[in-house]
Structure 1
Amino acid sequence: MASLAMKITLERIALFQFTPKHSAQARAMLDWSLEQLSRESGVSVDAIARFEAGAEVLDVTRLALAYRLEAEGLVFFPGFAPGRGMGVRGSAPDPVGRADFAMIE
């Protein structure tokens, strides 16, 4: 039970910290196009474009983007541009392996 509570807490933190602006900034830092982030995360190009434009997307979609970018060593904090973590990797580097992957837009 504690691990489920921890997972939910970590996902809520990731959702709060990862913004549409972060997504665009992270892609620029990595020199990734929308298409490359789509391939890497399993999220459609349309959903990424909508998210970065400020439209609502499913939480699982936002998590897939955040976790994939975190897997590249990026960290996200509200009000700041993405930064490089000190050897930090995301908690779910492979979004396709998530149990809720079928819900990703």
Structure 2
Amino acid sequence: MASLAMNHILERIALFQFTPTHCVQARAMLGWSVEQLSREAQVPVEDIQRFESQQEVADATRLALAYRFEALGLVFFPGFRPGRSASVRAAASESLERGEYAMAE
């Protein structure tokens, strides 16, 4: 049960730290289009466009975007541009499936 509670806390932190501006900046850092992010994060293009234009999207959508970028070694802090983690693993190119998130949609 503790791991479920920890997952919930980590998801709340990710939701607080990852902003629409971060999404735009992270795509630019990677040279990704909205369409490429859509494929990589398994999120519809329309949802990404809504999120980046400061409109409401489901928490699961925001987590999918944040986790995909984090899997590539990007880190997010409110008020700062995305940065690169100093501890990026070789597995960073692995694709995460939406089913791997603990949050229910």
Q: TM-score, normalised by structure 2?
A: 0.88
* Alpha-carbon shift at residue 26 of structure 1 (Å): 0.0
Q: Are 1:95 and 2:69 an aligned pair?
A: no
Aligned residues: CA RMSD? 2.3
In the alignment, what sits opposite 1:60? Answer: 60
Report if the CA contact (8 A) 2:41-2:96 is conserved.
yes
- List aligned pairs for 1:71-90, cutoff 5 A: 71-88=71-88
Q: What SS does the aligned partner of 2:48 have?
A: helix
Q: TM-score, normalised by structure 1?
A: 0.88
Aligned residues: 102
Q: Which runs of 5+ in 1 are unaligned?
A: none
Given the superposition, is the C-alpha separation of residues 27 and 53 from structure 1 closer, same or farther in structure 2, using an over 3 Å criterion? Answer: same
Q: What SS does the aligned partner of 2:78 have?
A: coil
Q: Percent identity?
A: 65
Q: Within 1, Cα distance between the matches of 2:57 and 2:50? A: 8
Q: Within 1, Cα distance between the matches of 2:57 and 2:3? A: 26
Given the superposition, is the C-alpha separation of residues 15 and 101 from structure 1 closer, same or farther in structure 2, using an over 3 Å criterion? Answer: closer
Q: Are 1:10 and 2:10 an aligned pair?
A: yes
Q: Which runs of 5+ in 2 are unaligned?
A: none
Q: Are 1:20 and 2:5 an aligned pair?
A: no
More relative contact order in 1 or in 2 (CA 8 Å, sep 6+)? 2
Residue-by-residue CA offset, 1:38-76 (whole Å, 9 max, x unaligned): 000000100000000000000000000000010111000
Given the superposition, is the C-alpha separation of residues 100 and 11 from structure 1 closer, same or farther in structure 2, using an over 3 Å criterion? Answer: closer
